């Protein structure tokens, strides 16, 4: 007798959708496929499509210190609404940044029992915190993040080459990797000086050309080669920036990369219309480059998809020019559903896309119990309904602390009805199912320092 059986769902394979049931015991999958076995509780899946819970390695909930921008309570609920059951919080823009063990403990204390989804924390590499890297790895941060160009806040300083190199040397033996915001200030600065005008979205794109990404990625690849430290390039904006990564992979460099839904869904021309809600760095690119990014995704050149959900209070966007406003896109709640919408009639692409937002990120950080619908794994899954006609994303639907999103007005044909975490529903029909039950995951380093 199983604890629970969710009957009448449909599972995705590259060939299409198959009818199935899910059995759950002690929060884990115990049978998958059609089953006649009995369950203490039977749930009718109502023919919904079933995906593994999303694993988002790139969120900024800004807790503690900038909880007025988002916070774990609202951010994690939006994650559940957007089909994620696991989120990894970046080391910035909380205050303090997660660059010491003390800051990590402070962050955990502040988060308390507020998270609706399971979560982990990133550690930061900044000038001056080299001695904290091993202790942070021992405390179970998933990996480290550094900026090669200014981060946008004064409390997370970008790393010069010497810091990156020494940091990588120290990260390599921990078994962790270094994630990089890769834009080269040596390319950004002259691009900025050349600008005739600094007002609209197109100027913003011109101020941060793709060449800045390529140059930074090339530097990072060289450092990875010298130090043996695995690297992960976050938020790659275009196919051009993927080329050096693919070449390095072919040469055996331990490098992976992430893109974000907004680079696949929105162009800089869209940003011109949307305004600062669509501002990010690296910037959105021109419309004609989006198709090539999708082609690279199909060719297997992208390893993970992360939201880079990075909200701010309305006064840091509204009424300001593109240059004066905060750079960050609120997209956690609709990024994945909008990507599914694009592939709704193409099971092969949908299957591949799903791997990039579930299994691949889970594997990348060694989360063995997450990321797929397999017997023995945590019963983290989402039930998704088709909407005919597609529904429009409205401001009133947003669960973030502030109702703003670059995706408002767009249409989605696949919408999350229910989200399950470790065998229990946590979100249903636009609202939480109960109090938050998200657990903190420590991912200890491979070779902890002797205590």
Binding site for Zn ion (CB under 5 A): 308
Rg (CA), the chain: 21
Cα separations in angstroms, 312 against 207, 229, 315? 22, 33, 8
CB 132 within 8 A of CB 174: no
State which residue, 183 or 308, has the beta carbon closest to Zn ion: 308
State which residue, 43 or 236, has the beta carbon closest to Zn ion: 236
| Smallest separation, CB 381 to Zn ion (Å) | 26
Q: Quick one: which of 214, 212, 216 has its CA closest to 189?
A: 212
| Smallest separation, CB 151 to Zn ion (Å) | 9
State which residue, 58 or 363, has the beta carbon closest to Zn ion: 58
Q: Using CA atoms, how far apart are residues 178 and 189, in angstroms rounded to an integer? A: 24
| Smallest separation, CB 41 to Zn ion (Å) | 40
| Smallest separation, CB 39 to Zn ion (Å) | 41
Owner of token pair 């998704």 = 384
State which residue, 213 or 308, has the beta carbon closest to Zn ion: 308
| Smallest separation, CB 331 to Zn ion (Å) | 11
| Smallest separation, CB 235 to Zn ion (Å) | 7
State which residue, 134 or 307, has the beta carbon closest to Zn ion: 307
State which residue, 6 or 404, has the beta carbon closest to Zn ion: 404
State which residue, 119 or 427, has the beta carbon closest to Zn ion: 119
| Smallest separation, CB 301 to Zn ion (Å) | 21
| Smallest separation, CB 117 to Zn ion (Å) | 18
State which residue, 308 or 380, has the beta carbon closest to Zn ion: 308
- Going by their DSSP bridges, the two strands 304-305 and 255-259 should be labelled as parallel
Task: Report the first-to-last Cα separation within the chain, whole angstroms.
Answer: 45
CB 13 within 8 A of CB 351: yes
| Smallest separation, CB 164 to Zn ion (Å) | 17
Nearest residue to the partner Zn ion, using Cβ: 308
State which residue, 23 or 55, has the beta carbon closest to Zn ion: 55
Q: Is the dihedral of CA 134, 139, 144, 146 positive or negative?
A: negative
Q: Return left, alpha or beta for 422; rule: phi > 0 is left, psi -120 to 50 is alpha, else beta.
A: left
């Amino acid at each position: 007798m199983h604890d629970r059986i969710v009957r009448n769902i449909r599972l995705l394979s590259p060939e299409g959708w198959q009818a199935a049931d899910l059995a759950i015991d002690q929060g884990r999958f115990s049978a998958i496929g059609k089953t006649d076995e009995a369950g203490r509780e039977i749930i009718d899946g109502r023919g919904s499509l079933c995906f593994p819970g999303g694993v988002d390695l790139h969120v900024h909930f800004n807790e503690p210190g900038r909880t007025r921008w988002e916070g774990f309570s609202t951010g994690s609920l939006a994650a559940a609404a957007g089909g994620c059951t696991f989120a990894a919080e970046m080391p910035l823009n909380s205050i303090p940044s997660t660059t010491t063990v003390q800051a990590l403990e402070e962050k955990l204390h502040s988060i308390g029992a507020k998270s609706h989804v399971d979560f982990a924390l990133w550690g930061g590499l900044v000038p001056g915190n080299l001695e904290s890297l091993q202790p942070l790895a021992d405390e179970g941060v998933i990996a480290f993040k550094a900026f090669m160009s200014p981060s946008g806040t004064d409390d997370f300083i970008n790393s010069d080459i010497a810091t990156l190199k020494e940091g990588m040397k120290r990260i390599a033996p921990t078994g962790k990797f270094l994630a990089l915001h890769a834009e080269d200030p040596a390319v950004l600065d002259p691009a900025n000086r050349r600008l005739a005008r600094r007002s609209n979205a197109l100027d913003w794109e011109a101020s941060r050309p793709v060449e800045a990404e390529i140059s930074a990625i090339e530097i990072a690849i060289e450092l990875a080669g010298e130090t043996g430290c695995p690297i992960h390039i976050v938020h790659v904006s275009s196919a051009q920036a993927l080329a050096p990564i693919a070449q390095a992979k072919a040469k055996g460099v331990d490098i992976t990369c992430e893109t974000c839904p907004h680079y696949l869904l929105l162009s800089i021309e869209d940003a011109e219309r949307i305004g600062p809600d669509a501002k990010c760095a690296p910037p959105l690119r021109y419309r004609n480059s989006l198709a090539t990014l999708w082609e690279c995704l199909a060719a297997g050149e992208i390893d993970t998809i992360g939201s880079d959900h990075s909200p701010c209070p309305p006064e840091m966007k509204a009424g300001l020019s593109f240059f004066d406003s905060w750079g960050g896109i609120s997209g956690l709640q609709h990024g994945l559903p909008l990507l599914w919408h694009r592939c709704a009639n193409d099971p092969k692409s949908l299957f591949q896309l799903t791997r990039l937002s579930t299994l691949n990120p889970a594997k990348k950080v060694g989360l063995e119990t997450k990321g797929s619908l397999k017997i023995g794994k945590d019963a983290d899954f989402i039930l998704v309904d088709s909407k005919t006609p597609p529904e429009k994303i409205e401001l009133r639907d947003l669960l973030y602390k502030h109702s703003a999103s670059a995706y408002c007005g767009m249409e989605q044909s696949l919408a999350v009805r229910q989200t399950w975490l470790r065998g229990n529903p946590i979100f249903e029909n636009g609202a939480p199912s109960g109090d938050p039950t998200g657990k903190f995951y420590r991912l200890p380093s491979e070779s902890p320092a002797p205590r």
